[in-house]
Amino acid sequence: MSIDDQDDYPTIPCPYCKREIAQDSVQCPKCKNYLSDDEDQTDRKGKAGSSDRRSTLPQWVIVTAIVMLAVFVFSVVLRIV
């Protein structure tokens, strides 16, 4: 495919990052947001990438809680012994 062929291919701006993408794209190759109205895809990525932060927050909270619990148990065991 030559560069001239790419000019003939219809493009649209991504609604999130405004980069020109193929008109039939399902996902933007730059910002990785889904362009489809399918709920499964929207639930996975969210709008404008906002769910990326929310999906990592619970993992961070769980890890912190486990570490705090381990410190508590360790300190109780040391007091008994």
DSSP 3-state of 10: coil
Q: What is the mean pLDDT of the chain?
A: 76
DSSP 3-state of 39: helix
Give the pair of three-digit tokens for residue 70: 């381990």
- Model confidence at 38, in pLDDT bands (50, 70, 90)? low
CA-nearest of 22, 28, 65, 71 to 48 is 28
Give the pair of three-digit tokens for residue 8: 């003939």
User: What mean pLDDT is predicted for residues 3-8?
Assistant: 56
* pLDDT given at position 79: 83
* pLDDT given at position 52: 52
- pTM listed for this prediction: 0.36
The listed range with the strongest mean pLDDT (3-7, 57-61, 64-68) is 64-68
* pLDDT given at position 57: 66
Q: Taking the domains of the chain in order of start, what are their residue ranges?
A: 1-48, 50-81
Q: Report the distance separating Cα 58 and Cα 22, nearest Å.
A: 35
